[in-house]
């Protein structure tokens, strides 16, 4: 039987990731030491009280039925958390769960857009920012993020015709992969821009709790008018290390929440109840581990970024997120070619910037997912490889 698959699959090629994985497996078979800094999965455990809440909920057989809705106490916990953490007052009709921000971003444009509507996405940016609108049949418009502008969009440079046509704009700060944060003044400018052009703003706030150098991560919703023009995803994956549990929130504009809840009711039966109880424990319980974890990420950032800089590879300090964004050293034809050579010579695995858009070419992304001593060894392996010579 000759099965003809959807043409949209042609846009989702694994490419360099398959090649890097094959190379990694080959090096492991050869007994080589590998420093895998390519995937952004936290290596910290959830807090004990969060795991205990999950365990207790899993022992109740009633919790294995369809949940069908968000627990009222979970929505209340999220509202109280946003009030305490960000100073944002929300009603529970302004909050809903999604099965991780990735799932939410993959589907939300199905509720916001008709086929052919224009969605503005960052270049470079995390791939789901583009993939979600693409799956909805929307047109993709790219706004450029450049280091000379602090990786912030220059809203004034977006052509008037493009701004008037746009239906949705997706942003995220601190931004994976470029590790930049945005000042408060930018959000005020963004909200005015959205009002002027009737653009719905989607802000992915995955890394609000991993910021550095004494800064405090914020929320798009803190800014006057934000809930009128947009909504924000807030993930428990990175803050509370619940990546596999797949739970995030969409918060903000109540009409958008209502529309997205209706859409998701057609494709999902709700978040597994033990996961909801774990989320309640995370949001309402002690937050000491969140602060300690951010401090450890900063120590890792210092070990990697400043360690590489010290051996002759200038890598800027990340402002936020659990990543580092490094320019490719001279002499390489592409970020993919450099990643393959770096792995082969040093055992250090990173992600080519080209995976995040055309303006990511010339850079690589490191994930801060190893302890400081291992990162120091990784820096030593890069130095000993001679790749910077």
Distance CA(153)–CA(194), nearest Å, equals 13
pLDDT at 349 over 70: yes
Distance CA(322)–CA(369), nearest Å, equals 8
HEC assignment per residue over the chain? CCCCCCHHHHHCCCCHHHHHHHHHHHHHHCCCCCEECCCCCCCCCCCHHHHHHHHHHHCCHHHHCCCCCCCHHHHHHHHHHHHHHHCCCCCHHHEEEECCHHHHHHHHHHHHCCCCCEEEEEECCCCHHHHHHHHCCCEEEEEECCHHHCCCCCHHHCCHHHHHHEEEEEECCCECCCCECCCHHHHHHHHHHHHHHCCEEEEECCCCCCECCCCCCCCHHHCCCHHHHEEEEEECCCCCCCCCCCCEEEEECHHHHHHHHHHHCCCCCCCCHHHHHHHHHHHHCCCHHHHHHHHHHHHHHHHHHHHHHHCCCCCCCCCECCEEEEECCCCCCCHHHHHHHHHHHHCEECEEHHHHCHHHCCEEEEECCCCHHHHHHHHHHHHHHCCCC
pLDDT at 331 over 80: yes
The reply to whether 259 and 295 lie within a common domain is: no
Where do we find the tokens 């993919």? 336
pLDDT band at 23 (very low <50, low <70, confident <90, very high): confident
The residues near 10 (Cβ < 8 Å, ≥ 6 apart) are none
Q: How far is CA 335 from the centre of its chain?
A: 21
**Smallest Cα–Cα separation from 92: which of 77, 80, 75?**
75
Question: 325: which strand partners?
Answer: 365
In a domain, residue 2? The reply is no
Q: What is the pLDDT of residues 131-183, one digit of tens each?
A: 999 999 999 999 999 999 999 999 999 999 999 999 999 999 999 999 999 99
- The overall average pLDDT reported for the chain is 96
Residue 78 sits in which domain range? 48-284
The reply to whether 367 and 331 lie within a common domain is: yes
Total tally of structural domains belonging to the chain:
2
In a domain, residue 97? The reply is yes
The reply to whether 344 and 265 lie within a common domain is: no
The reply to whether 160 and 296 lie within a common domain is: no
What is the distance in angstroms between the CA of the first residue and the CA of the last residue of the chain?
54
In a domain, residue 368? The reply is yes
The reply to whether 195 and 313 lie within a common domain is: no
The reply to whether 326 and 263 lie within a common domain is: no
In a domain, residue 119? The reply is yes
**C-alpha torsion angle, residues 284, 290, 291, 295 (rounded to 10):** 180
The reply to whether 117 and 160 lie within a common domain is: yes
Q: What's the pLDDT at 14?
A: 67
Residue after which a domain boundary falls, among 284, 312, 328: 284
The reply to whether 279 and 294 lie within a common domain is: no
CATH number of 313's domain: 3.90.1150.10
The reply to whether 307 and 268 lie within a common domain is: no
Q: What is the pLDDT of residues 195-254, one digit of tens each?
A: 999 999 999 999 999 999 999 999 999 999 999 999 999 999 999 999 999 999 999 999
In a domain, residue 278? The reply is yes
pLDDT band at 15 (very low <50, low <70, confident <90, very high): low
Sign of CA pseudo-dihedral 387, 344, 337, 11: negative
The reply to whether 254 and 339 lie within a common domain is: no
Distance CA(102)–CA(38), nearest Å, equals 18
Quick one: tokens of 321? 């997120």
Q: What angle do CA 248, 251, 257 make, to 5 degrees?
A: 105
The reply to whether 116 and 178 lie within a common domain is: yes
pLDDT band at 17 (very low <50, low <70, confident <90, very high): low
CATH number of 199's domain: 3.40.640.10
Residue after which a domain boundary falls, among 256, 284, 312: 284
Q: Average of pLDDT values for 54-64?
A: 98
The reply to whether 224 and 132 lie within a common domain is: yes
Q: How far is CA 333 from the centre of its chain?
A: 28
Q: What's the pLDDT at 229?
A: 98
Distance CA(19)–CA(9), nearest Å, equals 19
48, 193, 236, 318, 334 from 330: Cα distances, Å: 46, 39, 38, 21, 10
Q: What's the pLDDT at 233?
A: 98
The residues near 206 (Cβ < 8 Å, ≥ 6 apart) are 101, 172, 176, 233, 234, 235, 237, 238, 321
In a domain, residue 195? The reply is yes
pLDDT at 124 over 70: yes
Residue after which a domain boundary falls, among 284, 312, 345: 284
In a domain, residue 1? The reply is no
Q: What's the pLDDT at 11?
A: 82
């Amino acid at each position: 039987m000759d099965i003809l698959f959807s043409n949209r699959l042609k846009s989702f090629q694994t490419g360099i990731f398959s090649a890097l994985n094959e190379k990694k497996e080959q090096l492991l078979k050869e007994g080589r030491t590998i420093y895998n800094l390519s995937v952004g999965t936290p290596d910290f455990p959830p807090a004990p009280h969060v795991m205990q809440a999950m365990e207790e909920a899993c022992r109740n057989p009633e919790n294995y039925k369809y949940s069908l809705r968000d627990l009222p106490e979970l929505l209340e916990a999220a509202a109280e958390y946003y009030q305490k953490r960000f100073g944002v007052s929300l009603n529970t009709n302004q909050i809903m769960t999604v099965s991780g921000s990735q799932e939410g971003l993959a589907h939300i444009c199905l509720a916001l857009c008709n086929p052919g509507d224009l969605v503005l996405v960052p270049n470079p940016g995390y791939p789901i920012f583009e993939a979600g609108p693409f799956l909805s049949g929307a047109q993709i418009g790219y706004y450029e993020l450049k280091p000379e502008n602090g990786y912030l969009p220059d809203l004034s440079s977006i052509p008037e015709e493009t701004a008037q046509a746009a239906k949705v704009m997706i942003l995220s700060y601190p931004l994976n992969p470029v590790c930049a944060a945005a000042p408060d003044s930018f959000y005020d400018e963004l909200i005015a821009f959205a009002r002027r052009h009737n653009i719905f703003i989607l802000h992915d706030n995955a890394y609000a709790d991993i910021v550095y150098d004494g800064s405090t991560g914020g929320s798009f919703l803190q800014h006057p008018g934000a809930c009128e023009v947009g909504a924000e995803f807030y993930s428990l994956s990175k803050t509370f290390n619940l990546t596999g549990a797949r739970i995030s929130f969409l918060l903000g504009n109540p009409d958008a929440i209502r529309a997205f809840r209706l859409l998701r009711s057609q494709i999902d039966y709700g978040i597994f109840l033990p996961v909801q109880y774990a989320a309640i424990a995370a949001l309402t319980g002690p937050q000491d581990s969140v602060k300690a974890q951010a401090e450890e990420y900063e120590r890792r950032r210092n070990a990697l970024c400043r360690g590489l800089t010290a051996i002759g590879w200038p890598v800027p300090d990340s402002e936020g997120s659990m990543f580092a964004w490094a320019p490719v050293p001279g002499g390489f034809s592409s970020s993919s070619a450099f990643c393959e050579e770096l792995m082969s010579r040093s055992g250090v695995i990173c992600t080519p910037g080209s995976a995040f858009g055309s303006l990511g070419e010339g850079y690589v992304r490191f994930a801060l997912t190893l302890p400081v001593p291992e990162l120091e060894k990784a820096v030593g392996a890069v130095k000993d490889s001679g790749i910077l010579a």
